[in-house]
């Protein structure tokens, strides 16, 4: 019996993928922030929930703060739906609770 992890890929492929994965693409954040625009509050809430989940990753948090996305959250604080306003406050709390977001 063989012990330990089995590596199926060549080491040079694995290293290249690891380096690439450290540079997270900005597109998923852009897509989620686009979901904040439709008139459907359920879509906005789902997008806000996903953004809250992503803010536990310092790289995503940095991209949000320095990518020009914060202006969109300001509009959501005036949303007609109180659930959207609450979730927006939760997202802002996550952003400001980290040294990157201060």
Domain locations in the chain as residue ranges: 29-100
Contact 76, 41 (CB under 8 A): no
| Cβ neighbours, 10 Å, residue 51 | 25
Tens digits of residue pLDDT in 35-56: 999 899 999 999 999 999 999 8
- Vertex 34 angle, CA 79 and 82, to 5°: 20
Taking the whole predicted model, whether its pTM rises above 0.85 is answered as: no
Q: Domain 29-100, what fold?
A: 1.25.10
Tens digits of residue pLDDT in 74-89: 999 999 999 999 999 9
Residues 6+ apart with CB under 8 A from 57: 24
Contact 36, 84 (CB under 8 A): no
């Amino acid at each position: 019996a063989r012990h330990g992890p089995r590596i199926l890929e060549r080491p040079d492929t694995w290293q290249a993928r690891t380096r690439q994965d450290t540079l997270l693409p900005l597109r998923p954040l852009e897509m989620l922030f686009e979901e904040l625009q439709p008139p459907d509050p359920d879509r906005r809430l789902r997008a806000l929930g996903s953004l809250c989940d992503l803010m536990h990753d310092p790289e995503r948090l940095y991209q949000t703060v320095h990518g020009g996305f914060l202006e969109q959250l300001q509009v959501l604080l005036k949303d007609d739906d109180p659930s959207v306003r609450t979730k927006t406050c939760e997202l802002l709390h996550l952003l400001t609770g980290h040294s990157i977001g201060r």
